[in-house]
A and B are shown apart, each in its own frame.
Chain A
């Protein structure tokens, strides 16, 4: 089927070349990072994780969100998702690839990355995360590819994929839970030391991922003859709405605990992020932008009229995505490091090189996504054509 990705309109090829160019720039800067060291980034002794690890965290959520389509379709036999479920699975593949790449570019000694498997260490959460992510990647490639192939030959998918599909459901939950455990089990990082972390991660994932999927479906519809249909998009928009409400709710729980208890260590990161601490507040405007976008998105989503209108729905989904990206793909990680263990404030801001490497990894992910979607859409167009002909 892969040959379907090798033929396309000139628009398709321009897009691919554009992505390749962005990847190339990122790669050049990555080579620079390899020779100079991670000092090329804005990271420091006090804020030792930044843009790379927060992208990783955010994208694990995007990957896990495929399960929001798999559960209704395969467990509840919600047939309307039949056309769109493959888009979710392929999105997961692209997202997990980006996660793994972000872990790699964040490593000080990437040549030794395999040490994670050469000296397996079950007490380290990274070990479990590496296992979970690679397993999830494999599951989604196999499931997506075989179901699509059987669809192409208008045959039911082989029997052995069913158990894999069922397995992928708890697996999706596990990748994001394990990712939350990376943070939630560290003593002395008050911002992360919270039992609600995994739940908050899942809620934001199930809002952000499906929101992105709605956006992608609308793009696919516009660019190809394949139409995922209005109803599945409406169904997904309800998932986004509930998940976003849950996410905001969890966040407010955190705020309550920090400020009602009045424990300084718990309050400080929130203060740093939203009002600034000891005169430092680089992230304040961004965090408020996230809040405003979240509020706007919720207004549009909760109101049935605006949710049903695809134009406003699109705007709401974009707002959800950007808001969550700021919150989880940036603020959450940096906030955990400020103030530092000595109650001093060191700020972090990514450098240009770091941003370009990050963009490069995103471009790799989008390239994978484009190719996979191209294949899926071509198969769909083919079978749809076949349907009308016969």
Chain B
């Protein structure tokens, strides 16, 4: 069985040497056949991953810091210390800026001042994917909007297209600005775009996203298409909002706002 497969690989290899890797890429699309590559058995799978952030459970500054630090440290997100070069996957902003157009003057002070965690929404109908000229940004079967850093040409069209400001560009080499590198995860290089990946590298190991894990139950993560999933239960029991719903991108990150409790 796998003799053929090996043979095939060999042919691909040899012709690539002859005709140039680019041509071989085009013809063979570089994908392994099913018998050679498979999803990890212990991995978590879903038809459509989604996240529900329960703002009632996020209280202290510490709560937020744990979430953002967890994500940024395991994913080797650099800290340039200036807004111009800034790269971030998850961060916070106030209601007025997180949900522009939905603010009103008379909201409870507690909500007005509360920081809301913001990240890529893994939109069901993602404009960033639509505009990417190389399919470096693409949507997976399970709804995760992924970024193939190997292919990104750094045109930044996706940044112009994302209505949520979820994407960051590496304006310079990020490596010197990563305090402590996680040796299990790659960094990025200058000239490519990056963002939250819903922790795909953890899902294959059977782990929940880092931010959810460190949130003390404030962030739920699960399958939107499974009526028994935690996210569905939360969605049917609480009133939730999403960012800029009117644009039709169908964000997969939901927020439970709660009342005026602090």
Whether the complex brings A and B within 8 Å at their CB atoms is answered yes
- Top 9 A-B residue pairs of the complex, sorted by shortest distance between their CB atoms: A108-B154, A188-B163, A108-B191, A39-B171, A37-B190, A39-B172, A341-B165, A126-B133, A37-B172
Count A/B pairs, Cβ under 8 Å: 148
Asked if A126 and B171 sit within 8 Å, CB to CB, the answer is: no
Give Cα A114 to B151, complex, Å.
Answer: 10
A115 within 8 A of B: yes
**Chain A residues near B (Cβ < 8 Å):** 36-39, 43-46, 48-49, 103, 106-110, 112-116, 118-119, 121, 123-127, 130, 182-183, 186-189, 264-265, 336-337, 340-344, 346
B37 within 8 A of A: no
Chain A residues within 8 Å of B169, by CB: 38, 43, 45, 48, 108
Asked if B93 and A342 sit within 8 Å, CB to CB, the answer is: yes
Chain A residues within 8 Å of B172, by CB: 36-39
Flag the segment in B82-90, B208-216, B223-231 that touches A: B82-90
Asked if B170 and A37 sit within 8 Å, CB to CB, the answer is: yes
Size of the chain B interface, CB-CB below 8 angstroms: 50
Instruction: Enumerate 17 A-B pairs (CB-CB under 8 Å) in ascending A order.
Output: A38-B190, A39-B172, A45-B86, A45-B159, A45-B169, A49-B160, A103-B155, A107-B153, A108-B153, A108-B190, A115-B133, A123-B130, A187-B163, A188-B164, A189-B160, A189-B163, A346-B83
Asked if B154 and A109 sit within 8 Å, CB to CB, the answer is: yes
Give Cα A280 to B24, complex, Å.
Answer: 52
Asked if B131 and A126 sit within 8 Å, CB to CB, the answer is: yes
Give Cα A182 to B160, complex, Å.
Answer: 10
Cβ of B152 to closest chain A Cβ, rounded Å: 6
Give Cα A340 to B162, complex, Å.
Answer: 11
Cβ of A183 to closest chain B Cβ, rounded Å: 8
- Known A-B contacts: A39-B84, A119-B134, A186-B161. Give 15 more (CB < 8 A): A37-B170, A37-B171, A37-B190, A38-B169, A44-B84, A45-B159, A46-B83, A46-B165, A48-B160, A49-B160, A108-B152, A118-B134, A121-B133, A183-B160, A341-B163
Among candidates A38, A183, A186, residue contacting B171 with C-beta atoms closer than 8 Å: A38
Among candidates B132, B152, B155, B192, residue contacting A106 with C-beta atoms closer than 8 Å: B155
Chain B residues within 8 Å of A110, by CB: 153
